[in-house]
Structure 1
Amino acid sequence: MKGKRGRVRLNVGGRVFETTAATLASAGRDTMLGAMIDASWNHGCGDGDGEGGVDEYFIDRDPECFAVLLDLLRTGGLHVPPHVADGVLCREALYYGLLDRVRAARWGPFDGDRLRLAASVAGSAAGDGTAVRAAADGGFCVAHGGAVRVYNWVMEERRAVHLDHAPVNDAAYLDEATLLVAARERPGRRDGGVAAFSALTGDLRHRFRVAHDRHVRSFTPGALAFDNRCKVFASCKGRFNEYGIGVWDCNTGEQADFFYEPPGCALGDADKLQWLDATSTLMAATMFPRTDSSFISLLDFRDKKNVAWSWSDVGTPASLEDKHVLHAIAMEDGRSLCVINQYDDLGFLDIRSSGAGGVRWRSRSKLTARKKKAAPRGEETCYPKLAAHGGQLFASTNDTISVFSGPDHVLTSTLRGSDAGAICDFSIGGDRLFALHNEENVVDVWETSPPPII
């Protein structure tokens, strides 16, 4: 590298910047700036005859954004002037290969006890959303009526996706570029089903169909899930005998299996599916108020399909019969399930025992400062939801999300953001938490502040 003390001059869109080779190298060899000054990649692009013998390069890009990115390399901090739009900055960061660096400077690794409200995104359509799902890259989507509204990680809305404009029951990110949509069949029409879309363009990739007795059948899917072997699962209800869990190859859309509903399992009505890596089983939960009783099963699809474990509140002792399970998740340790009832009590089920035991309820009413408010007349009730992430447990009740930490699940934080009504769903992914409120279709975006620069 020529130049005094490794100095480099960059003419970006007519504006001249001077920095050091070490600063540019800190971007990494796999970035444009790092490669520019790397001897193994540089093929005389610099003008060694620059003033004072300093190498000079011309880059035909936005100088305002480059100033922000250069400061990020120099200081480690991201300072964006008000006149620089997030979308433009991200476009330029992508060009230079610095998009991951920008993200890391915007928010840090996820920690439920250090979350801050970063933004509130108001929906652009009337009515309430039904589900929010986080993408691995920090984006999200909202199931809203007959469409799924998609947002990138800077919260710019992309093209919405829909499946025949049929009402959406669930959505899931297979990866940051692929979105799965489950839409229910409308009376008198053979529409709905499950399909994969591009999360970037909204284009339909393929449909997932159910075949029974060698005939393709129409069906209404409920909850979605997928495993680590590229299999997609959906609870299914058909017109004939298609009650159970459908299984497809996520790449081709071809049906791989179908777990027909055995007596007492209510798989076709399951409103929560979750794959458990530790046991290679699928949790299928059908809960109140979808049914009068709650059913939770672990399904083993290997060799002969069987129900590896199950629990139901049918026959619950009279002292506990008024406690209805409203949501359930498998804990990250792979040993237990967590459930929540209408009184906001947390309960735990041990899935290691051969026979399903009772729920170990643990009241947390004394830990919750805010009282529950009744939903206004005509407004849909928002039931509590659960999530587990990074060793922490999260529970939404009314307009608040509670965070529990440690092996004893001690309440350590509460999150309350927009004054937009109760939280009807929330999702964690891409180091962010997204909470969907039932008023005005508002989504609160929670982030962990980046670590301090020392």
Structure 2
Amino acid sequence: MENGHLQTSTGHRTDDRIKLNVGGKLFETTLSTIQTGGSDSLLAALSSRTSDDPDPVFIDRDPEIFSVILSLLRSDGLPSTARRFSKQELADEALYYGIESQLKTAMLPPPFSGIDASIVTTVHPASDGLPSAITAGGDGSIWIAHGGQISSYDWNLSHAGTIRTHLEDINSICRVYPEIAAVGSESDFGLHFYDFSGVRNMGSIHWTDPADPRIFKSRVTAISNSPSSVFAAFDCPHRENCILVIDKSTLKVVSELSRQSGSSAKNLAVGKLTWLPETGLVVGSSVTCGAFGYSGYIRMWDPRSKEVVWETNEPGSGRSSRFGDSFADVDVDVDESTLFKVCSKSGDLAMADLRNLGDDPWVYLQDKNPSMRNTKGGADSNSVICCYKSQAFVSRGGALEVWSRPPKAENRVDRESEVCEGLYRRNFMDKEEDAQRGIIKKIEGGGNRLFVVREDVEGIEVWESSHSSGAVSVL
């Protein structure tokens, strides 16, 4: 340190100036700003050049975009002039200068709030554009299965590549590693692993049992994973089904959970799987709709003991079933350790504490928002629920709504009716005309984005919150 100023390893002070000639336009900044890009960046490599050099460093790049890059290094944010360039143009320049991480931080959407969310773009695969399955990454990236292909889109929603699999009608996809997907198909047998980095099939897992001839040609119905395991639900033509636990490091089957005949709604193959990091348990659900309405089950397994530790069936005994109003869909809020279900007839939303489950764990949420009365709510035979960022997103046909905790929420439960008031508040995310775009079939969150798939509609809707959001629910 010299007179209170830091020095670099070359002996220069961090407040020394450096001149750059980018595409014929002169820029002048300080070493400290340049070094903000990190030691591996191109600009940091130029930090040995200071104002003592007779000529500025020449960089043969677009000076207009560089001014955005320089502003990013100075303030950790993007200036308004960045709007003149596409996300891909900015990403390409950030890659050239070696400051992708800074740009990624600045460009990622703000914390996701369903109340303030809107559609920002639609991602369209190049061919066979009807999505059949999706999996979102924690960085906002998305992998889309369409036909027998899987297209990858990075955090910037730029197309990163497409691989053609040997499968048709992919119905399940799960990202088990940053570049590896586990995939199942409605028309092909087994669980298959694909490596995006090497564009190759890494292998397949099949459910077999030499002692039981009924176990053959098993198809995958749901996939989830933990840091060490992949959980895949398999279903045979004669309805025998189970969940296989697969070691992620060896891609070998470790154990078998929940083998059942599939002879009734209580024994059908699992349609949705979720691993709970807090307890290491696995939650699975199955829903079917027949002439007498919806029926299904929710179960929780301990992969270590291979035992069912809790289950509920609907229709079933007890008040929790609301006989004739079974759940149409189920999802788990992993962050809040809460289980949600949406009822098939009433459209009511109910929640249960995963840490305090019993014979009758459900508390039904009552909407007390006066602005939401007598509007689009109610039941729908195409209800879908997705939990993300401590919010429950529910679609009833084409409409999309969010249930979120209002500020200073009070949990008031009427013990007689098991109805909860005030804990969650409902708001619609879309306009009336938006709901006409098609029935929502899948919802998934990742990277502060919500991805929505509609029936027979090409592409994936991408929902984000506004950077200037200050919205709160209407009380």
TM range (shorter): 0.7 to 0.9
2:3 is aligned to none
Q: Offset of 1:224 from its aligned partner? A: 0.8
Q: Summarize deviations over 1:168-208 as a string: whole Å, max 9, x none.
A: 11112224422221113x3xxxx432222234564333323
| TM-score where L is the length of structure 2 | 0.78
Q: Percent identity?
A: 24
2:172 to 170, 173, 194: 170
Identify if the C-alpha distance between structure 1 residues 171 and 49 changes in structure 2 by more than 3 Å, giving closer, same or farther.
same
SS of match in other structure, 1:386? strand
Aligned ranges 1:405-444 → 2 under 5 Å: 405-406=404-405, 408-411=422-425, 413-416=427-430, 418=434, 420-444=437-461
Instruction: Tell me if structure 2 keeps the 8 A contact 1:231–1:247.
Output: yes
Identify if the C-alpha distance between structure 1 residues 93 and 235 changes in structure 2 by more than 3 Å, giving closer, same or farther.
same
1:276 is aligned to 276
The worse-fitting range, judged by mean Cα deviation, of 288-297 and 389-398 is 288-297
2:200 is aligned to 203
Instruction: Tell me if structure 2 keeps the 8 A contact 1:279–1:334.
Output: no
Q: Partner letter of residue 95 of structure 2?
A: L
Q: Summarize deviations over 1:7-44 as a string: whole Å, max 9, x none.
A: 1112335543222223223334454434543xxxxxx5
Q: Within 1, Cα distance between the matches of 2:288 and 2:366?
A: 19
Instruction: Tell me if structure 1 keeps the 8 A contact 2:246–2:255.
Output: yes
Instruction: Tell me if structure 2 keeps the 8 A contact 1:346–1:364.
Output: no
2:98 is aligned to 97
Q: Offset of 1:357 from its aligned partner? A: 2.0
Q: Offset of 1:96 from its aligned partner? A: 2.7
Identify if the C-alpha distance between structure 1 residues 153 and 350 changes in structure 2 by more than 3 Å, giving closer, same or farther.
closer
Identify if the C-alpha distance between structure 1 residues 91 and 175 changes in structure 2 by more than 3 Å, giving closer, same or farther.
farther
1:391 is aligned to 390
Q: Offset of 1:250 from its aligned partner? A: 2.2
- 1:18 matched to 2:28? The reply is yes
Aligned ranges 1:307-346 → 2 under 5 Å: 307-316=308-317, 320-332=322-334, 335-342=337-344, 343-346=346-349
Identify if the C-alpha distance between structure 1 residues 204 and 14 changes in structure 2 by more than 3 Å, giving closer, same or farther.
farther
- 1:225 matched to 2:242? The reply is no
Identify if the C-alpha distance between structure 1 residues 209 and 405 changes in structure 2 by more than 3 Å, giving closer, same or farther.
same
Taking only aligned residues, the RMSD between alpha carbons, in angstroms, comes to 3.6
SS of match in other structure, 1:289? strand
Q: Partner letter of residue 414 of structure 1?
A: F
Aligned ranges 1:178-193 → 2 under 5 Å: 178-184=180-186, 186=187, 191-193=188-190
Q: Offset of 1:387 from its aligned partner? A: 2.4
SS of match in other structure, 2:359? coil
SS of match in other structure, 2:382? coil
Instruction: Tell me if structure 1 keeps the 8 A contact 2:171–2:184.
Output: yes
| TM-score where L is the length of structure 1 | 0.81
Q: Within 1, Cα distance between the matches of 2:78 and 2:331?
A: 38
Q: Summarize deviations over 1:64-113 as a string: whole Å, max 9, x none.
A: 43222112223422445566442232122133332232233232233333
Instruction: Tell me if structure 2 keeps the 8 A contact 1:8–1:20.
Output: yes
Q: Partner letter of residue 235 of structure 1?
A: A
1:50 to 46, 54, 73: 54
Q: Within 2, Cα distance between the matches of 1:4 and 1:330?
A: 50
Q: Partner letter of residue 445 of structure 2?
A: I
Q: Partner letter of residue 210 of structure 1?
A: W
Q: Offset of 1:423 from its aligned partner? A: 1.9
Q: Within 1, Cα distance between the matches of 2:381 and 2:42?
A: 48
For structure 2, list consecutive stretches of 5 or more residues without a partner in the other structure. Answer: 1-10, 410-421, 470-475
Identify if the C-alpha distance between structure 1 residues 13 and 201 changes in structure 2 by more than 3 Å, giving closer, same or farther.
farther
SS of match in other structure, 1:192? coil
The worse-fitting range, judged by mean Cα deviation, of 357-366 and 148-157 is 357-366
Q: Within 2, Cα distance between the matches of 1:172 and 1:425?
A: 14
The worse-fitting range, judged by mean Cα deviation, of 56-65 and 161-170 is 56-65
1:41 is aligned to none
SS of match in other structure, 2:90? helix
Q: Within 1, Cα distance between the matches of 2:132 and 2:79?
A: 35
SS of match in other structure, 1:71? helix
Q: Offset of 1:437 from its aligned partner? A: 2.2
Q: Within 2, Cα distance between the matches of 1:423 and 1:240?
A: 30
Q: Within 1, Cα distance between the matches of 2:437 and 2:126?
A: 15
Q: Within 1, Cα distance between the matches of 2:267 and 2:46?
A: 57
Q: Within 2, Cα distance between the matches of 1:365 and 1:348?
A: 16
Instruction: Tell me if structure 2 keeps the 8 A contact 1:293–1:313.
Output: yes
Instruction: Tell me if structure 2 keeps the 8 A contact 1:212–1:242.
Output: no
Q: Offset of 1:140 from its aligned partner? A: 1.2
Q: Offset of 1:429 from its aligned partner? A: 0.5
Q: Within 1, Cα distance between the matches of 2:160 and 2:230?
A: 24
- 1:256 matched to 2:273? The reply is no
- Structure of higher RCO (CA pairs closer than 8 Å, 6+ residues apart): 1
Q: Within 1, Cα distance between the matches of 2:387 and 2:336?
A: 11
Q: Offset of 1:139 from its aligned partner? A: 1.6
Q: Within 1, Cα distance between the matches of 2:364 and 2:445?
A: 25
Identify if the C-alpha distance between structure 1 residues 36 and 49 changes in structure 2 by more than 3 Å, giving closer, same or farther.
closer
Instruction: Tell me if structure 1 keeps the 8 A contact 2:131–2:460.
Output: no
Q: Partner letter of residue 250 of structure 1?
A: K
Q: Summarize deviations over 1:244-295 as a string: whole Å, max 9, x none.
A: 0011122332212221424778566111100012221100100132895211
